[in-house]
């Protein structure tokens, strides 16, 4: 190998001199396809970002909103235990989803977490009776 050859780009038209037309096109396509794959992978990795999880008293679009003056009921204490066990309480019949919307707005609480974890959203038509379009209690 001559010193000038080491300075050439990894894929140039001169790499394919002496090959038939079909072989030249296939080799060039494979090389360019490899570079496109590397570029696509780099774009995918650079687009990944950390997504904040929904938090009680948090900030941003996933914040769990509890209206001022609302106290945590005895059945929900401690709140972290309730966050994990509420599905069990609904399945066992301790509460129904309709009872939940008496205190909780699904759009500003339930569905933010459910959407984050990929769980089915809460769709209770009666919730519109209690909460307006802006999510505030009527």
Write down the domain spans for the chain: 3-47, 51-138
- What residues contact residue 130 under an 8 Å CB cut-off, 6+ apart? 101, 102, 105, 137, 138
Q: What is the pLDDT of residue 19?
A: 58
Compute the average pLDDT of residues 59-71: 73
- DSSP letter at 94 equals S
| Position 95 confidence tier, pLDDT thresholds 50, 70, 90 | confident
Mean pLDDT over residues 73-97, rounded?
A: 82
Whether 11 has a pLDDT exceeding 80, the answer reads: no
How confident is residue 79, by pLDDT bands cut at 50, 70 and 90?
confident
Q: Model pTM greater than 0.85? A: no
């Amino acid at each position: 190998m001559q010193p000038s050859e080491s300075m050439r780009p990894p894929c140039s038209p001169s790499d394919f001199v002496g090959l038939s037309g079909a072989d030249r096109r296939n080799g060039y396509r494979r090389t360019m396809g490899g570079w496109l794959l590397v570029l696509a992978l780099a774009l995918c990795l650079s687009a990944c970002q950390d997504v904040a999880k929904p938090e009680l008293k948090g900030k941003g679009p996933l914040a769990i909103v509890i209206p001022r003056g609302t106290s945590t009921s005895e059945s929900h204490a401690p709140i972290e235990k309730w966050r994990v066990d509420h599905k069990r309480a609904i399945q066992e019949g301790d509460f129904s989803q309709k009872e939940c919307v008496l205190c909780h707005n699904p759009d500003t609480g339930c569905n933010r977490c459910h959407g984050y974890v990929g769980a089915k959203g809460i769709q209770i038509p009666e919730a519109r009776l209690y909460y307006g379009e802006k999510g505030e209690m009527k």
